[in-house]
Amino acid sequence: MTDAIFQVRTSSVRFPAKAFKKIEGKTLLWHVVQRVKTARLIDRLIIATTDKEEDDRIEEFAQQNGLLCYRGSERDVLDRYYQAAKQFGSEVIVRITPDDPFKDPQIIDQFVSYFVNSNGSLDYVSNTIIPSYPEGIDLEVFSFKALERAWIEADKPSEREHVTPYIWKNSDKFQIKNLIYRKDLSNFRWTIDYPQDMEFTVEIYKRLYPVKKIFLMEDILEILEKEPDLQKINDGIMHGEGYLKSLKEDKLQNKNKKI
C-alpha cells in the first residue's frame, strides 16, 4: 500500500492557519489534496495532524473529503508519521507538506515508480539531498521499515520535527537515492512560509488554474519565462529556515547534556 501522508497543523509562527487560506475560492489544503489525488500510484491519502483542539478543523476537513486522519504529537512529527503509517498499514510512504501549493502528480508518480521498481533495494528516494527541483516540488518516498528504524533511533530535535533527516544523514544505515532534474531549478521558491509566498502562489493560480486545474511544474516555468518579475514577489527568503532553526535546537540539546 502506497500512501501519501500529509503533515498539517493550524499553528505556525511565520504564517498561522495558512492551510486554510483561500486560492481561487478553495483552501490551500484542498488544492494540494486535489493535486496529490491525481497521482496514479498513490493508493490512499492520510492527514496526520496534531491532537490540539485548534486542529479539530483539520480532522473535520479530512472527514468531509473522505480522507483518513491520524492525530498525534505537535512537535514530534516523526512520531506522528510513524503512528499514522502503523495505524493504517502503510508500506510505502510519500511525504507531503501542504504548504507546497504546486505538488506535481506526474513527478510523484515518477518517484514512486522509481522506488517501487527498485524491488526493495532502496529505503529512501528524494530530490532534497542535492536540490535541483524548485523548493516546493520537494518529494520524499520511503519504506515503512526505514521510517520505523528512524522512529526508534532518532533523538535530535531536527530529526524528530522534520521526519526524515535521520534517514538521509545515515547512508551507512539506509540505501538512499537522490534524483536530479535535467537542469538546476533550485533557485525557484514555490513554498509558503510567509504572506508574500502566498501572494506569489495566488498570482500563479490566477494565470493557470482557470484553464488547467492540475497544472504542472513545466506550466509554471512557462509562465515565469514570460513574466520573470513574478519571482520578485517572494525573492530573498532563506531556504530551509525551519530546518535551520531545528539544528540550533540540536546544539542546545547537546549543550544541556554536557551540563
Where are the chain's structural domains? 2-258
Phi, psi for residue 226 in degrees, rounded to 5? -75, -35
pTM for the structure as a whole: 0.91
Give residue-wise pLDDT tens across range 121-167. 999 999 999 999 999 999 999 999 999 999 999 999 999 999 999 99
The CATH class, in words, for 2-258 is alpha beta
Q: Output the pLDDT for position 237.
A: 81
Q: Output the pLDDT for position 255.
A: 47
In which region does residue 217 sit, left (phi positive, over 0), alpha (psi from -120 to 50) or beta (all else)?
alpha
Distance CA(95)–CA(22), nearest Å, equals 23
Contact call for residues 246 and 160 (beta carbons, < 8 A): no
Binning the chain into helix, strand and coil, the percentages to the nearest 5 are: 45, 15, 40
Q: Output the pLDDT for position 252.
A: 47
Mean pLDDT per block of 10 residues along the chain (259 residues) reads 96 86 97 98 98 97 97 97 98 97 98 96 97 97 98 95 96 98 96 96 98 98 98 83 52 51
Q: Output the pLDDT for position 242.
A: 53
SS3 call for 212? coil
Phi, psi for residue 81 in degrees, rounded to 5? -65, -50
